[in-house]
């Protein structure tokens, strides 16, 4: 055999032929991007050398690697892994992921309805989206999704695209989830029926009595401010004088919607939030500038460990200006600002460009180490295990990051918004039997069945009469238990007795929504909240603290315990 015959045949694909052109364009675009965002940076030579090395390795793999590979997948994987060396919130989305992620805030979609994050190759539920099927069956913030239809959804290489592909799907289709939940030794199995995920972000707006109004905001999407403003004006027309603003479980969204809402409460041109980054072009101050709808009147804000980002911006502004009493538990602690950069192929980089600060100067970003996302992702579990969710004394405040509100009250940075009034998580009605009812959707299915058979009788009265007079009977509970047993859930009397108040309340709430709630426009679920809120310990605490909220608005801080 001649030497000429020993040479490998050159048979480059069209992609390989175009590779130098593609990489040349990418390199030029990268340098342009770098010069745009980081002009004058002394490290640009290092960036250029990095591009050159990456191009060299990519070409060697494409031309010489023993097996066929997808260069596009390698590039996506490389970018994802590179960004893991940065903060926990900088992220890359390929074309499909970017479109799916944008739909969370901009338009509706079919799926199970969860806001999630991937940390250390594990999918964590940030919060179930209000009104969606995951919330309905009892998925909670902090749950870890281990498997979807017996297919593993954890481990090295899990991507946003994997999650979207497995969890989204045509409405009406079912999906089985294996969930790991903090505080439980055994994993849980949930069957979720995919549905249209509501695009509305104001989930409830109603008058509690002749003076107190309640508004629940579930996320900060494109339409949130308009929805909120409309709800607030409607309540004012009904006599609103005191307001409960519920931001629990709200994972955030558009910062501008949060500051616009804050401006409805805060007078003058007071500072609402400011941002600071490495590049001064990302430094920005946002101030109040309009005559707000509710600049007078006591306000109470409800928060918990699922309240993040834009929720914390709104609550921080109101707390720092002594405009609202914050009740609940320490919020999530996300104080980093991401700029979405749409790349040439439709993919998207969400790059952390600055930190935001509340008017008093505090950053509420909780601690993290660059490139070490595991502890960060486990934060909610750590809070549970440390007892922080149940005892205010277990909250570890960083005394080196102390600030003062306008009125001189102490507040702390470096780990979320601390409540003015702490309320522990209520677990008194929790039981494994209850979680199994959630997992197999028993409560909702029974309530809908009852509503269908009794609707003609129920609609003869108003919802107000139903709310005051309707009782979930022993006979109804026996039917529900029977349905659960047929579904394979073993009846455990002690656990049922413990959870019965919540089972009855949720049954009544779902019946009420089904019979009367369809008359609402704008996606409101007032019937559900009007039934369930009186059973909620944080809500009940809020109702009893309007005297303190009034003192706060009046500048009388003697009745308020400062966090010192």
Q: How many residues does the chain have?
A: 564
Tell me how far apart the alpha carbons of residues 314 and 333 are, in angstroms, rounded to a whole number.
Answer: 13
Point out the catalytic residue in the list 76, 320, 379, 551.
Answer: 320
285 is an active site residue: no
Q: According to the 3-state scheme, what is the secondary structure of 328-354?
A: ECCCCCCCEEEEEEECCCCCEEEEEEE
Catalytic annotation on 309? Answer: yes
10 Å CB burial of residue 507 (0-12, 13-18, 19+) is buried
Instruction: Please provide the distance, in angstroms rounded to a whole number, between the alpha carbons at the two ends of the chain.
Output: 87
Q: Which of 309, 347, 360, 431 is catalytic?
A: 309
Opening angle at CA 563, ends 559 and 564, nearest 5: 110
Tokens linked to 271: 């500072």
Select from 377, 344, 334, 309 the least CA-distant residue to 98: 344
Residue 123 and residue 126: Cα distance in Å, rounded? 9
Residue with tokens 């949720």: 506
Give the C-alpha separation, 545 to 553, whole Å: 13
Within 8 A by CB and 6+ apart from 209, the residues are none
- Strand extents, DSSP E, 332-445: 336-342, 348-357, 402-404, 410-412, 421-422
d(CA 441, CA 438): 5
* 324 contacts 245 by C-beta, under 8 angstroms: yes
**Known active-site residue 334:** yes
Q: For residues 273-291, b (16+ Cβ closer than 10 Å) or e, as one string?
A: bbbebeeeeeeeebebeee
Catalytic residue (choose from 216, 242, 334, 508): 334
Helix ranges (DSSP H) in 38-132:
44-64, 71-83, 95-106
Catalytic positions, written as ranges: 309, 320, 334
């Amino acid at each position: 055999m001649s030497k000429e015959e020993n040479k490998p045949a050159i048979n480059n694909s069209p992609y390989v032929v175009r590779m130098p052109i593609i990489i040349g364009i990418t390199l030029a675009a990268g340098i342009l991007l770098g010069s745009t965002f980081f002009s004058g940076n002394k490290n640009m030579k290092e960036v250029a050398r990095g591009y050159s090395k990456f191009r060299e390795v990519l070409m060697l793999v494409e031309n010489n690697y023993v097996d066929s590979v997808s260069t596009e997948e390698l590039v996506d994987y490389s970018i994802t892994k590179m960004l893991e060396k940065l903060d926990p919130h900088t992220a890359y989305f390929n074309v499909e992921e970017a479109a799916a992620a944008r739909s969370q805030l901009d338009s509706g979609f079919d799926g199970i309805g969860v806001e999630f994050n991937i940390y250390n190759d594990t999918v964590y539920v940030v919060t179930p989206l209000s009104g969606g099927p995951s919330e309905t069956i009892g998925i909670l913030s902090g749950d870890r999704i281990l498997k979807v239809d017996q297919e593993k959804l954890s481990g090295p290489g899990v991507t946003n695209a994997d999650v979207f592909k497995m969890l989204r799907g045509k409405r009406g289709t079912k999906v089985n989830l294996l969930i790991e939940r903090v505080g439980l030794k055994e994993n849980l199995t949930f069957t979720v029926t995919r549905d249209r995920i509501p695009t509305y972000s104001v989930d409830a707006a109603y008058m509690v009595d002749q003076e107190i109004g309640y508004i629940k905001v579930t996320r900060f999407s494109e339409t949130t401010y308009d929805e909120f403003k409309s709800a607030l004006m409607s309540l004012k027309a009904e006599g609103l004088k005191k307001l409960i603003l519920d931001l629990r479980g709200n994972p955030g969204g558009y910062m501008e919607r949060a500051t616009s809402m804050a401006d409805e409460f805060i007078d003058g041109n007071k500072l609402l939030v400011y941002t600071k980054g490495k590049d001064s072009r990302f430094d920005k101050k946002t101030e109040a500038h309009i005559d707000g709808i509710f600049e007078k009147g006591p306000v109470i804000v409800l928060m918990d460990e699922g309240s993040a980002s834009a929720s914390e911006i709104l609550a921080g502004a109101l707390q720092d200006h002594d405009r609202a009493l914050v009740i609940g538990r320490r919020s999530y602690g996300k104080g980093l600002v991401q700029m979405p950069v749409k790349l040439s192929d439709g993919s998207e980089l969400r790059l952390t460009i600055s930190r935001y600060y509340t008017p008093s100067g505090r950053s509420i970003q909780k601690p993290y180490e660059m490139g070490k996302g595991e502890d960060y992702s486990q934060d909610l579990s750590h809070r549970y295990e440390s007892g922080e969710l149940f005892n205010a004394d277990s909250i570890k405040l960083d005394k080196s990051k102390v600030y003062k509100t306008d009125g001189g009250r102490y507040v702390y940075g470096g780990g979320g918004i601390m409540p003015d009034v702490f309320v522990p998580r209520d677990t008194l009605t929790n039981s494994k039997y209850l979680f199994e009812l959630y997992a197999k959707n028993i409560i909702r299915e029974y309530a809908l069945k009852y509503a269908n058979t009794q609707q003609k009788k129920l609609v003869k009265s108003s919802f107000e009469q139903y709310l005051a007079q309707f009782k979930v009977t022993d006979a109804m509970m026996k039917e529900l238990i029977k349905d659960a047993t047929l579904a394979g859930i073993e009846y455990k009397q002690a656990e049922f007795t413990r959870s019965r108040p919540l089972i009855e309340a949720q049954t009544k709430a779902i019946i009420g929504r089904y019979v009367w709630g369809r008359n609402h426009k704008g996606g409101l679920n007032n019937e559900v909240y009007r039934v369930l809120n009186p059973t909620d310990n944080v809500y009940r605490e809020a109702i009893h603290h309007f005297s303190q909220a009034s003192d706060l608005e009046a500048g009388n801080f003697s009745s308020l315990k400062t966090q010192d």
